[in-house]
Structure formats: C-alpha cells, structure tokens
Chain A
Amino acid sequence: MEKKGWDGFEIGAMLRTFDGAVRDIATTLPENRPYSQSSSFTASVADWRIEKPLFNKDYCIDCQFCWVYCPDMSIISRDKKMIGIDFDHCKGCGICVEVCPTNPKSLLMFPEQKDEESALAEWPKKEKKADTEVKED
C-alpha cells in the first residue's frame, strides 16, 4: 500500500472494502468489483505458501467440492465449471486436493516452484480398484 503520513488516511481503525459506492455486489463477479487498495482482495499473500495445488481439467467432473471447501475462496469457478486457482490468495492448505473425488485426483499438491507443464506431464494415471471379487478355487 502507498505509504501515507499520519494525516493521509481516514480516521479510525477502519478500512474501506471498495472505492466509491457499490450496489448489487453479491451478483458482481470478484474481478469486476471495485476493490480498494486496502481490501485484502488486492493484496497478494502468495508468499505464505510453500506447496501449491495444480489443476488437471482432464479428470475434473465439476463437482465443486474444492470450491465449497476452500477456506479462502481461492477456487475460481464460473457457471459451475472449475476454471482454476487464485494464486494470490491460496495458502496451500491442500484441502481442495483432499476433497477431490476423481481418480486420479484433478488437483494435486506440488512444490511452489514446479511449473504447470511438467506437473501435468507426470500426472498419475487412474488407479485400478483393488480386486474385490472373491475368487473361487
């Protein structure tokens, strides 16, 4: 944030979420909202993360579990389709990976420096279910 002097901000331990007035904010997509500089939406906390989730859309069934369970609203979903991850706010907690029900998982944790292309290249294959049939001898 811009470093203002003691007389350069509004009084009170108070921050505005938006620049100017907002209406129908609930039906406005986050990227279209006039978030202020002091809103946490405009601040990146990417450096809190040491591992990151990566998304493989080949296996995603758009169940929205990751979107529901993400504690930081960092799963970006539009029209109930998983689009990707907000890496400015994702803390790398791994909950999205934990709740992903597909086989193989459509979200996996990787080291922060891992590039997406090589991660996708080495994505695990579908695991065969353990053979549950009782074999007769």
Chain B
Amino acid sequence: MADTIELRDIEVWDGNMAASQALRQVQVDVVAAYPITPSTPIVEGYAGFKANGYVDGEFVMTESEHGAMSCCIGAAAAGGRVATATSSQGFALMLETLYSASGMRLPIVLNLVNRAIGAPLNVNGDHSDMYMGRDSGWIQFGAYSPQEAYDLNFIAFKVSEDHDVRLPAIVNQDGFMTSHTAQGVHTLSDEVAYNFVGDYKPMNDMLDLDHPVTHGVQTEEDWHFEHKARQQHALMTAVLPKIQAAFDDFEKLSGRKYNIVESYNMDDAEVAVVCMGTSVETAREVAEEMRTQHGIKAGVIGIRVFRPWPLEQIAAALKDVKAIGALDRSSPHGAMGALFNELSGSLFNTETKAVLTNYIYGLGGRDLTKAHLVGIFTELKANADALKPTTPLQQYIGLRGPKLSFF
C-alpha cells in the first residue's frame, strides 16, 4: 500500500507539480511516458513518487510518445486507471494513437502542457498542440492556473471513467505560464481526492479472463460508420451532463466552482473576448479596467471545455453582446482561427447580430499584454457602435513589422 503525503491546505505548486500530485492522489495503475518540455516535470515528479513509495502503480518509460500512448492504450484495455503527459511535438507523434484510444473507448487522462509546434523549433506556450487534437475524439478541458490544472485532473478521471462516457480526456495547461509558474494551490487530502474519483471500475477489460474480448478490431464500410456514430453520440449527449455533475460534486467538496462556459462580467456586457488558458485571467483583469477606466462594458468568455464543444451554452452566453473578439493562440495556416469558426458555427442560426472578429496572438510564447487587450476591447467597442466590422476580420496581435491582417 502506497504511503500518503500530508499536504498543507495551500501548497506552493506550479501547474506541473499540481498535475503530478493529482495523478498520485488518484493512484493511477499505469503511467507510461516519454518526457518532453514543458510537461517533463509531471512524469518526472510522478516517477519520483513511485520511487519513494507513494505510488502503487507502474511507471513505464517508453521509447517515444507514440509508444507512451500505445502503452497507455494497452494498459487501459487491460483494465487499469491510466494517465500520461506530453506537449507539442510529442503530442503530434501521439496523434495516430489518440484516435485509437477514443475509438476503442478507453478512459485515459492526458495532461497536455500546451506548447508551440515547430518549425521553427520552440519550447514555449501556444495552443497549436491543443488544436491539433480537436477532432481526435478526446474530451478537452482547459485550465488557466495551477489550481485548475490540479482540480480538472480529478474531474477528468471522474468523467472519462464513467461507464456512460468511456472516452479519454485531455487536461490542457499553458506551457511555462501555468506549468512552471508556482502559485498557491488549495489541496485536497489524499483520501478526499481519491474518494472523489473513486475506485476504478473496469469495463470489457482484457484481464477479465472469464469474458475474453478482442480490442482494436478492424471494421470496414460495413461497421466503421456505426462505431464512429456511437462515439459522436456519447460526446454530444453524455459528456457535458456528466461534466456538469462532476463540477457540481466538486464544488460541494472543495467550494471551487467550475462551469462548462466561464463567463466574467457578461451580464450587461456589450463587447466580449473569447479565449483560453492563462489569457483568460489577463482578459478578466483588463475587462474590469475597461469598465472602470474606459467606460466600456467589457466581458470575457473563458473556454473551459473545448471538446465536446458546448455549442448551446456558448450561444447563450454570447446572445446579448454586440461585438465579439475570438482570440486564437495557434496559427490557423490558411483559414480563420478555430475559435472564430467555432463561434461562427455556434451563433450563425441564432438571433444575434453580433459582429465577430478574429485575433491571432501569442504564438511561440509571445506575451499577450494588457495593452494588447485594451486595444482589442477598444476595437470591439467600435464594431459594436458601428454594428459592422471596423477592422479586418483576422488581425495579428503583438507581431513585429508591418500590421498583418486578412479579409
């Protein structure tokens, strides 16, 4: 039996340590990993817990991220609680196996510490890796701070392992800005944390020798479509209610409230930005200042659940604003940003006449400053007043050289 750790009520942890501690507290059976910056300390920390007797499960060092996720898939099919962590190029190498994990309906929790994807090689934070996984069939949560990275791991295990869900889940946190920035994190005791997630309940596991199963079967045009439809049905109908229930339970336990769509100052907001990760916290601060210093009724929508995309909740949250800025921290490479497109899809068949524009920011760890956000809110206010775009639809923010914009 693993030793417990007596945590202080508030520990000073960065996002990586917070995630690592959460993995220890839920007593994962198998962590298979290949370390990569900036997620390395998650699995390094977990391996330390294992070496020092705080973990009963197995820690498997693999030859690549493709191998790491493949090992996770095998362990999950065998019937264990499974987790790993990665970033950027490592996530890209995992991509093939991500589809296997979700298609095989295996509940695996992946801590994805968001980092740019090269070339040029870059270890700093943006959301390119998060976006790369958006059609892979995984549930995707977004944390804006170490506290949330810690809490959302428990939520992720609880939802992912639910027998009505059985889909893998990613917990995103921003590389370095969250993963390496130490903050006060309110902890749960080992016992309370474990009991929130509960014992792992196997389903169709290969180690149930009385009920032999074949996992990872091949289907062609005769069955493939039906399997994918079943998966989409679970994502579209079962997941969000389970997430809401888990958020409710977690609030009762910890007092910390999470929402499928995080709304800040939205009740009477005239303009709003929609963003993810650490930018949400900066945007909230600036929105407050826009109200007190600039007389602009500014609000912020933070994406808490990126997949499944909460279309109705997003549309409801934005129904009364006049101008919206979609902030994408990933190069769309030949299109509008993903958030812009998702928001367009969410709002198009509604009554709203809101003006929607797109900002590309923060690639490769470039800071999004408060000054940038003041500029964005000011432009959005002009759009709201004009009831049409007064700027190009897609603009680059914080870029050196001549202004870059499209459409």
Answer yes or no: A57 CB below 8 A from chain B CBs. Answer: no
Answer yes or no: B230 CB below 8 A from chain A CBs. Answer: yes
CB <8 Å contact, A5 and B105: no
Answer yes or no: B52 CB below 8 A from chain A CBs. Answer: no
CB <8 Å contact, A13 and B227: yes
Chain B 71-101 interface mask (CB, 8 Å, partner A; 1/0): 0000000000000000000000000000000
Q: How far is the CA of A5 from the CA of B222 in the complex (A)?
A: 11
Q: Given contacts A5-B226, A21-B210, A22-B210, are A14 and B215 in contact (CB under 8 A)?
A: yes
Chain B min CB distance to A137 (Å): 69
CB <8 Å contact, A13 and B210: no
Determine which residue in A12, A14, A25 has the highest number of CB atoms from chain B within 10 A of its CB, and name it.
A12
Q: How far is the CA of A17 from the CA of B213 in the complex (A)?
A: 6
Chain B interface: which size bin?
20 to 34
Q: Given contacts A14-B213, A14-B214, A16-B211, are A6 and B226 in contact (CB under 8 A)?
A: yes
Q: Cβ of B106: which chain A residues have Cβ within 8 Å of it? A: 12
Answer yes or no: B284 CB below 8 A from chain A CBs. Answer: no
Chain A interface: which size bin?
10 to 19
CB neighbors of A among B117-163 (8 A):
none
Question: Nearest CB to that of B208 among chain A residues?
Answer: A21
Checking B105, B211, B226, B233 against A18 with a beta-carbon cut-off of 8 angstroms, the contacting residue is B211
Chain A 1-41 interface mask (CB, 8 Å, partner B; 1/0): 00011110111111111100111010000000000000000
CB <8 Å contact, A15 and B211: no
Q: Given contacts A12-B104, A12-B105, A12-B204, are A7 and B213 in contact (CB under 8 A)?
A: no
Q: Given contacts A18-B211, A18-B212, A22-B212, are A11 and B234 in contact (CB under 8 A)?
A: yes
Q: List 8 A-B contacts (CB under 8 A).
A: A5-B226, A9-B226, A9-B230, A12-B104, A14-B217, A16-B212, A18-B212, A22-B211
Q: A residues within 8 Å of B by Cβ?
A: 4-7, 9-18, 21-23, 25
Besides A11-B234, A25-B212, 4 new A-B residue pairs in contact (Cβ under 8 A), listed by A number: A6-B226, A12-B106, A13-B219, A17-B212
